[in-house]
Structure 1
Amino acid sequence: MTTVLRAEGLSRSFGHVMALNAADFDIDQGEVVALIGDNGAGKSTLVKALTGNLQLDSGQIEFEGRPVTLESPTAATRLGIEVVHQDLALAPHLSPAQNMFLGREISAKGVLGWLGFMDNKAMRDQTRQRLADLGGTVRALNSPVGSMSGGQRQQIAIARAIAWADKVVFLDEPTAALGVVQTKNVLDSIKRVRDRGIAVVLISHSMPEVLEIADRVQVMRLGRRVATYRGADTNVEELVGAMTGALDFKEAAA
């Protein structure tokens, strides 16, 4: 497989706190990699660095084999990298369709498009279809997302990221606010995205979900990657041991 995104020796400190300490990461095309670790292990900081939301003190990021500088989220988006953060990053006063197409609006045809009007029906229809693909329960496509439940907002954010990701999609705790049925739909959607050749990075505290869906699991502790396992060859005890330091450092061949 082709390695689509690789990071080597990423470091970032905040005052005396070393959030990333020579951290490494890699993911191949059409692969699901679970990124796990205890709170404060550096997962969110690493994701921010790999999606243009955080500048680094040192280290190198490669995209499809060439060094890149992700100076902003826009730079990451241009490469085909999308992310769903834990805070979802939705505009609460906008509708699901407006959030889905924010910055990517579809212009109306003809003169109306020249005058700046949007094709709201097309955006609603595409949003409805993308949510349906996730098994979504969002029905009020004209209502502001701020009036919706946490689970519905989560579905909208995930559907948006999956819809626009060409190369890599980061999902930070994507099922945290979802019920059993919606969680299964999200995991099934992740598998479909992987099968389209897109790399999926799953940040999760749910070990059963990680073991169900991950091709590889990369474990972070104290700001660095301390272990890599094949998803099919590991178990909860081994992963927890790596997370907590109960196991010796193991960069397993995977």
Structure 2
Amino acid sequence: MTIPFDLNGGAAVITGAGSGIGRASALSFAARGCAVVASDLDGARADETAELVRAAGGEAASLAVDVSNHEDLEALRDLGISRFGRIDVVMNNVGVLAMGPPESLPIEAWQRVVDLNLMSVARSNLVFLPLLLDQGRGHIVNTASASGLLAYGFDRLPYVSTKHAVVGLSEALALYLAPQGVGLTCVCPSGVITNILEQISFHGDATTPRAPQHPLVGPDVVGELVADAVVAGQFLVVTAPEIHDELRERANDPEAYMQRMIKEQLDA
């Protein structure tokens, strides 16, 4: 059973909304009649997103938010309520990478990625879920990654680990929220043209895994997919439908799948 949500007349808060998927989703939500509170660590970028929404005829506010800070998320909640009288959609859209051979990644790199990619969702749940549950309606959007579905990215192990965790968290949370009238969408894009390169730290010598050759898409494409998924009550969003073939292969025989992947790596 899906839980569709009419964005028209609602209000959404989005983290990581200063560029890329977050900004595109803000514009797509607004095009469907949803007010937006755009937040980003870079407050100027959040302001730019809000201006773009207003220029397109929508309603928007903006705020500088550090998702590693619980109080910043509370301020985001309070701004949404004070400006628009409600919060209906919460999009958790922050992602950073630490790259390098697994034996070269310091604990500090792991801690940063875990804190921003995973614990930010836990903080968001504490701040926003009581509100959505009290009103008995709403929608959560968690941005994960194709790297959260397929574990080929040994050059970015903290990212792969946290995005797998976000997928698992989202699946379990969707089962909890659905009977209480709240929907959830988990976004697992493949290559998207964004500025995530700004958020990468590098450690040790470069190493490159053999990865699925999924096509790159623009953030506007993902923004539309996200908005449509919220409206339809769709759980999983991917940008490369061919990923389902590999997921079916793995589900059918996990051992054979891993042995094939290992052989491909040895033959590379």
| Higher relative helix content | 2
Q: Normalization by structure 2: what TM-score?
A: 0.33
Q: Which has the higher contact order (CA 8 A, sep 6+)?
A: 1
Whose strand proportion is higher, 1 or 2? 1
